[in-house]
Structure 1
Amino acid sequence: MQMALALFTWSLPSCYACAKGAQVLVSTGRIDKYVNYRIVETSQFLMDVMAEGGLERGGRGVRTAQKIRLLHATIRYHVRHYPKWQPEWGTPINQEDQAITLLTFALLPHTLTKLGLDFTPAEQDAFFHCWRVIGHILGIDASLLPRDPNEGQQLWDAITRRQVAPSEAGRTLTHSLINYMKELVPGTISMASRRC
């Protein structure tokens, strides 16, 4: 439950704050129009890679990460050829975009400590190492795969300084996510939030 909460409140919004990456997500139409499907898809990915044996040879997590790597390559090719794609947006789903996205998952224990959950340094390192392995499977260059959470935070800070910027794409994605979350909240709480 805590991972899902962090996904909704930190990982996805952090990705949407990166203007160029958000533009890719809107261009494919997969997140803003099919937010439910994309959330389920991401959740399944998380369960596959974090399951016992998921990252072993032939493990479900390895296969899922390989499929995502292929999907990213396909999207990268097609989005670059969209008539509306602007050269200043750069290469879609580039190495830096992938690294910052990976870090939104790899740094989750740090985020969850803000919600009152405790992780030992060994647990944080183990979790981070899993995401380093996942990054390798996804094809992220080794120079963008930090060795530990401290290096991860440094890379996070460097990338966000360059990438985080207001964008219409980011607003669209965040609005879609908020609407999806409102649908999940039962009854009067959901209705009250709509009045705000």
Structure 2
Amino acid sequence: MSYTESSLNSLRLAGDELADATVAALFERGEVGKFNSLMRYVSTAGSPLPDGLPDVAREYLEATGAPPAWVDWGEMEKARLFFADNNVHISTALSFASMPACYVVPHVAKLLSATHGLDYPSKRMAETGQFTVYLMQPGAFEAGSPFIPAAQKVRLLHASIRHHLTRENRWDTGALGTPICQEDMIGGQMFFSLLVLDSLHRLGIHMSTDGAESYYYAWRVVGAMLGVDQDAVPRTLEDARRFLDLYMVRHMGPSPEGAHLTRQLIDLYEEVVPGTFFDPVVSALIRHLVGDTCADWLQVPRSSWDTLVRTVPHLLGALESIEDRSPLGAWALDHIGRLTTSFELSSLTRGRVMHYAIPEQLKKDYDVPGSVPRTKRWMPPAATVF
């Protein structure tokens, strides 16, 4: 698949037709509050839709209530097992690489600051973590699972932000394209898939090519359910590298919003880490995973821990050796991994289930200027030369 400046420019003009039409109708009819109230009771796939739900919302939920017909369930099961084997490492990559990568794209950082939820960074991190855990549970797409309703609500959340920014003339579409456009949604899909795999490689985690490809495939399925046009999405990891490299060269850079959001992220995880002695590990890990240039743009502080963090791959390699040689060791490490992930998520959610809702307004001061076997290790695709 070939990506050019021209083809990506066309993706900047496209949103999500189905979700956008649904949200527009809800606002036009004054039914957003009713929808949000009733949707709190829709938390699992297959559960009856509540009485009183607006017709347009009911039609949307029925149309999006199943995964795409092209899903290969064998690949999805391999992806789930990959996640189960690497859950802590994936959570680390999502928190300390994927989220900062969003912030290093200035117009995305500005857009993220538009919602009240970013006043409470733990809410967004908890929603992201909860969404990923829902995805990788057995039976994620079956009746009783919370994943499909979560995907349906996130898709409407994105559409509502597009609605507010365009209808209130608070977004320069001519200069920036459609807010949360297809290019940015594909970029986000890359941040949560390819960039996670890159980060695992940087941490020294041994992955099979088969496992990496299955994990990437799972996020293609997720992207489809979130309204991302999969005809425009890279099918292979090599094409994904070409897209992501071009996307980042086109857009990445420093911004006050990016630095502010990163500071919030660092403060949040320093609160999660017990005590204060290990606080600098948070910044050091972000810097290690995103690189010095991006870390400097995001104003990630430097410390003596920056050097120590580089030894993490050696430590993880030793732990993997224990896991490979001892069934008991493998059980213990997997159990510790699940407990660590659960602790992190419960710390962020404060033990609550996160609810996704359509924001009825955005921040008033928001503005955008107009300008698997471990003997073989998966290797990231080579960087694109422009």
The higher radius of gyration belongs to 2
Indicate whether 1:75 and 2:161 are aligned.
Answer: yes
Two-structure CA RMSD over aligned residues (Å): 2.3
Indicate whether 1:152 and 2:252 are aligned.
Answer: no
* 2:367 aligned partner: none
More deviation, 47-56/18-27 = 47-56
**Aligned partners of 2:247 and 2:134: how far apart in 1?**
27
Q: Describe the superposition over 1:119-156 as per-residue Cα deviations: whole angstroms up to 9, x where unpaired.
A: 10110111111101111111111233211211111111
Alignment partner of 1:176 out of 255, 264, 280: 264
Report the identity percentage.
34
Unaligned runs of 5+ in 1: none
How far 1:81 sits from its partner (Å)?
A: 3.6
How far 1:56 sits from its partner (Å)?
A: 5.1
**Aligned partners of 2:93 and 2:108: how far apart in 1?**
20
* 1:142 aligned partner: 230
In structure 2, relative to structure 1, the CA distance for the partners of 1:64 and 1:114 (3 Å cut) is same
**Aligned partners of 2:176 and 2:256: how far apart in 1?**
13
Indicate whether 1:46 and 2:132 are aligned.
Answer: yes
Equivalent position amino acid for 2:210 in 1 = A
**Aligned partners of 2:144 and 2:225: how far apart in 1?**
12
**Taking structure 1 as the reference length, what is the TM-score of the superposition?**
0.89
Equivalent position amino acid for 1:23 in 2 = K
Q: How many residues end up aligned between the 2 structures?
A: 195
In structure 2, relative to structure 1, the CA distance for the partners of 1:51 and 1:191 (3 Å cut) is closer
In structure 2, relative to structure 1, the CA distance for the partners of 1:41 and 1:169 (3 Å cut) is same
Give SS of 1:53's match. Answer: coil
**Taking structure 2 as the reference length, what is the TM-score of the superposition?**
0.47
Equivalent position amino acid for 1:149 in 2 = L
How far 1:57 sits from its partner (Å)?
A: 7.5
- Maintained 8 Å contact 1:50/1:61: no
Give SS of 1:189's match. Answer: coil
**Aligned partners of 1:117 and 1:17: how far apart in 2?**
25
Higher relative contact order (CA 8 A, sep 6+): 1
Equivalent position amino acid for 2:153 in 1 = K
Q: Describe the superposition over 1:9-55 as per-residue Cα deviations: whole angstroms up to 9, x where unpaired.
A: 10000011111111110111322x11011111110100111222214
Indicate whether 1:161 and 2:267 are aligned.
Answer: no
How far 1:188 sits from its partner (Å)?
A: 3.1
More deviation, 172-181/141-150 = 141-150
Alignment partner of 1:98 out of 177, 185, 188: 185
- Maintained 8 Å contact 1:98/1:140: yes
**Aligned partners of 2:250 and 2:103: how far apart in 1?**
14
**Aligned partners of 2:268 and 2:234: how far apart in 1?**
33
In structure 2, relative to structure 1, the CA distance for the partners of 1:73 and 1:161 (3 Å cut) is same
- Maintained 8 Å contact 1:79/1:92: yes
* 2:114 aligned partner: 27
Q: Describe the superposition over 1:97-131 as per-residue Cα deviations: whole angstroms up to 9, x where unpaired.
A: 11111111111123212111111011011111110
How far 1:86 sits from its partner (Å)?
A: 3.9
In structure 2, relative to structure 1, the CA distance for the partners of 1:191 and 1:13 (3 Å cut) is closer
**Aligned partners of 1:59 and 1:34: how far apart in 2?**
27
Unaligned runs of 5+ in 2: 1-87, 282-300, 304-386
**Aligned partners of 2:141 and 2:279: how far apart in 1?**
42
In structure 2, relative to structure 1, the CA distance for the partners of 1:58 and 1:94 (3 Å cut) is farther
